[in-house]
């Protein structure tokens, strides 16, 4: 496992806050959020519904302007949608009037790629997505998993250095989701983009990420930042049968469960091991160490 501190940060977030205003009404979505994402790191953000996970991702991608705080990508402020960033949305965003081939080509066309290069990169994207034979199919004829493969590959074929993913597999059945987890990990391990992945699924976060950020209820703050010291490459099926997986799930569920009001959530004093630092009174894991709850 790589030491995170040895890698330069691609994303730096400092004291981030967002309040939405509509007339006399205000909604504080995010408060005092600070974290860094290292080059080639896969970070998952998990938390209760409505805690501001997607809002944070939208601010990272330049789609929403923060109310306070700062975001830097490669040392520069985010003032617009960075060209080096690719975004995979929660909703099915494939265009129904475009075939698989033309959906995959969309981002490349937008960036001015034409001719033989366009054809070659689209063909490779379709192959990597396992959609050969469906190039001329329209989305209405595809399963949910196939459409999500199209959306994912449409983003990946432009070779973004940073990949933002907003619950991309949330609406899929378990079998399809696990299949796409395996495909995503294979692609990421080949390309090693920097990834920030929002999910409400703790199992998904542990399966995919190097590090998991656990959020509080709204207004969202960071409650725990926890390293996942499970070696790569990971088998998404066998992983869930291991003691390591059970341990990581238990540690994070105890913290997340308190925010959800679920049985097993941390109550009262929580002491942490060498792998934890505190964030606003909450435990945050340090690189290379494992937290424990006693």
CA distances from 100 to 85, 90, 219 (A): 22, 19, 39
Give 45-57 pLDDT, tens digit per residue. Answer: 999 989 999 999 9
Give the total number of structural domains in the chain: 1
What is the predicted pLDDT for the residue at 92?
76
* Cβ contacts of 258-264, under 8 Å, gap ≥ 24: 259/47, 259/48, 259/51, 259/214, 259/215, 259/216, 259/217, 259/223, 260/48
135 and 124 Cβ atoms separated by less than 8 Å: no
Residue 91 in any domain: the answer is no
- Distance between start and end Cα atoms, the chain: 26
Residue 182 is assigned to a structural domain of this protein: yes
Indicate if the pLDDT at residue 131 is higher than 50.
yes
b/e per residue 165-194 (b: at least 16 CB within 10 A): bbbbbeebeeebbbbbbbbbbebbeeeebb
Give a yes or no: residue 266 inside a domain: yes
Please report the pLDDT score of residue 287 as a whole number: 40
Q: Are 231 and 1 in contact (CB under 8 A)?
A: yes
pTM: 0.84
| Cα 139 from Cα 99, distance rounded (Å) | 7
Which has the closest alpha carbon to 88: 18, 13, 169, 9? 169
| Residue ranges making up the domain that contains 39 | 4-84+160-285
Within a 10 A sphere around the Cβ of 158, how many other Cβ atoms? 17
User: Is residue 157 within 8 Å of 107, Cβ to Cβ?
Assistant: yes
Owner of token pair 């909703």: 91
- For 1, which DSSP code? -
95 falls within a domain: no
Neighbours of 119 (CB within 10 A): 14
13 within a domain of the structure (yes/no): yes
Per-residue pLDDT band for 174 (boundaries 50, 70, 90) equals confident
239 exposure class (CB count in 10 Å sphere: 0-12, 13-18, 19+): middle
pLDDT at position 264: 53
pLDDT given at position 6: 57
pLDDT at 234: 95
According to the model, what pLDDT value does residue 176 have?
84
Q: Does 139 fall in a domain?
A: no
Residue 27 belongs to some domain of the structure: yes
For residue 267, count CB atoms less than 10 angstroms from its CB and return exposed for 0-12, middle for 13-18, buried for 19 or more.
Answer: exposed
CATH number, domain containing residue 66 = 3.40.50.300
Is residue 147, in this structure, part of any structural domain at all? no
| Helix or strand (DSSP H, E) at 77 | strand 76-77
The pLDDT of 223-239, averaged and rounded, is 95
Residue with tokens 């995010």: 30
The half-sphere exposure of 219 on its side-chain side, counting CA atoms within 13 A, is: 13
Confidence tier at 128 by pLDDT (50, 70, 90): confident
pLDDT of residue 167: 92
**5-217-67 Cα angle (round to 5):** 70
pLDDT of residue 175: 87
């Amino acid at each position: 496992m790589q030491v995170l501190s040895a890698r330069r940060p691609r994303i730096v977030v400092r004291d981030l806050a967002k309040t939405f205003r509509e007339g006399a009404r205000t909604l504080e979505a995010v408060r005092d959020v600070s974290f860094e994402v290292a080059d080639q790191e896969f970070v998952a953000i998990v938390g209760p519904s409505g805690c501001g996970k997607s809002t944070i991702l939208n601010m990272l991608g330049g789609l929403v302007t923060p109310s306070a705080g700062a975001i830097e990508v490669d040392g520069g402020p985010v003032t617009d949608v960075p060209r080096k960033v690719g975004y995979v949305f929660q909703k099915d965003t494939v265009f129904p009037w475009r075939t698989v081939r033309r959906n995959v080509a969309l981002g490349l066309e937008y960036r001015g790629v034409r001719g033989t290069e366009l054809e070659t990169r689209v063909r490779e994207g379709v192959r990597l997505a396992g959609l050969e034979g469906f190039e001329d199919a329209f989305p209405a004829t595809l399963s949910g998993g196939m459409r999500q493969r199209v959306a994912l590959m449409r983003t990946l074929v432009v070779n973004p250095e940073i990949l933002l993913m907003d619950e991309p597999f949330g609406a899929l059945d378990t079998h399809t989701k696990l299949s796409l987890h395996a495909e995503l990990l294979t692609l990421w391990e080949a390309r090693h983009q920097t990834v920030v992945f929002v999910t409400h699924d703790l199992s998904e976060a542990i399966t995919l990420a190097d590090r998991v950020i656990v959020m509080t209820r709204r207004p969202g703050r960071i409650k725990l930042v926890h390293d996942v010291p499970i070696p790569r490459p990971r088998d998404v099926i066998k992983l869930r049968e291991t003691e390591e997986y059970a341990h990581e799930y238990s540690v994070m569920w105890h913290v997340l469960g308190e925010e959800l009001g679920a049985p097993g959530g941390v109550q009262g004093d929580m002491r942490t091991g060498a792998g934890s630092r505190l964030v606003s009174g909450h435990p945050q894991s340090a690189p290379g160490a494992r937290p424990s709850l006693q």
